[in-house]
Amino acid sequence: MSFLDLNELAGENERLKDGNAGNYLDNFVRLPEGAGHVLLRLLPPAEKGMFGRAKNPFYMTTRTHRVNGKSLHCRKEFVNGKWVGDCEICNYCRWLWEESEKKSPEECKRLQDQYRAIKAVERFYYNAIVRQQYNKETGEMERNVGPKVWAVGKTVHAMVIRGIVGDPNMDEKPLGDVTNISKGRDFKYIKTIRQSGNLSYPNYDTSKFLEESPAGTPEEFERWMSNLHDLTALRIVKSNEELKHELKVHLGLATSDSSDDTTFSASEYSGASVSVAVPNLGNLEAKKEAPKVSEIVKPVATPAPAKFDFDNIGGKPLVDDDFMNELRNT
């Protein structure tokens, strides 16, 4: 059995030969290393028929698992407000959580830490223009760069949606179509650095939409719309067979060149021994010696099994610095 898609690799080979292809990460919006901000203009969805689709989304929704040093798209799909489908890694995560409820407090915490290290995290992709960007090669400041892919977690995504449709409970009036060419709004994507003990981490709570402004000239807008990224194509989903293989390599139960069947069986994983990564709190940078997991993660109260919503359990979303680091490592 082969895990390689030779046609896909051939296409990648041609892309790498293309001198204009540039760095793949250049397709994404990037924030400063420390505190700072990026000014963005979100773009409307691609027109009907573009990318061969009758309808293109304003944003694309996905989930990713951090397994075996890779960011892997979850096989479950978001349908009518629920994540549905069959995903081998989700099956293992469910087994981990259910097993944790049967164990002692110490063992329960250990298994739930393992769960959090690989559980699915929601990601959202938008097309956007970066209003101002420093070009390291030319040493010049560029304006209206893009379109680029803006990849964000659930918290920032909620800010965008709430800004557009409003929220009566928070006394926030709807801003309407923020992508409008003449009366839309730029989004100030702000990153601050917060402290938690000896650790620092990024926070995006002060990000906001600005006042109404033109997006650009009609010619600029037309050029941007004809060069949008195919957001749907960014969600490349592996088969359950491939996900199972990655999971077993992650757990030390298989090697990278071995093969496995696709049927989930808890007994295959019960003897696994894998070190638990420190739960992701957002590109943490230790000022001093990094604390132990036990100092960061507090024991989680066991929920009632009948009310447990596995696919919607809480947890801090993967923040953007971590996402970019994952892209670099993929």
**Which pLDDT tens digit goes with each residue over 231-273?**
999 999 999 999 999 999 998 888 776 665 555 566 666 555 4
**H or E segment and range at residue 11:** helix 6-17
* pLDDT over 60 at 300, yes or no: no
**H or E segment and range at residue 128:** strand 121-135
Position 24 confidence tier, pLDDT thresholds 50, 70, 90: confident
* pLDDT over 80 at 220, yes or no: yes
Question: Which of 232-240's residues contact partners 24+ apart within 8 Å by CB, and which partners?
Answer: 232/51, 232/53, 232/56, 232/57, 232/60, 233/51, 234/60, 234/62, 234/125, 234/149, 235/60, 235/62, 235/73, 236/73, 237/73, 237/74, 237/75, 238/72, 238/73, 238/75, 240/75, 240/86, 240/87, 240/88
Distances (CA, A) of 88 to 41, 248, 261, 317: 38, 11, 11, 21
Residues of the chain above pLDDT 90, percent? 55
Position 125 confidence tier, pLDDT thresholds 50, 70, 90: very high
* pLDDT over 80 at 39, yes or no: yes
* pLDDT of the residue at 7: 54
Q: What's the CATH architecture for 27-329?
A: Alpha-Beta Complex (3.90)
More confident residue, 310 or 316: 310
Tokens of 320: 């953007």
Q: Which amino acid is at 108?
A: C
Three-state DSSP class for 163? helix
Q: What is the mean pLDDT of residues 295-316?
A: 45
For residues 120 and 90, the answer to whether their CB atoms sit within 8 Å is yes
* pLDDT over 60 at 42, yes or no: yes
* pLDDT over 50 at 26, yes or no: yes
Three-state DSSP class for 259? coil
Identify the residue whose tokens are 């041609």: 14
* pLDDT of the residue at 34: 86
* pLDDT of the residue at 244: 92
More confident residue, 266 or 175: 175
Residues of the chain above pLDDT 70, percent? 71
For residues 156 and 146, the answer to whether their CB atoms sit within 8 Å is no
157: left (phi over 0), alpha (psi -120 to 50) or beta: alpha
Position 163 confidence tier, pLDDT thresholds 50, 70, 90: very high
**H or E segment and range at residue 141:** strand 140-152
* pLDDT of the residue at 140: 85
Mean pLDDT of the chain: 79
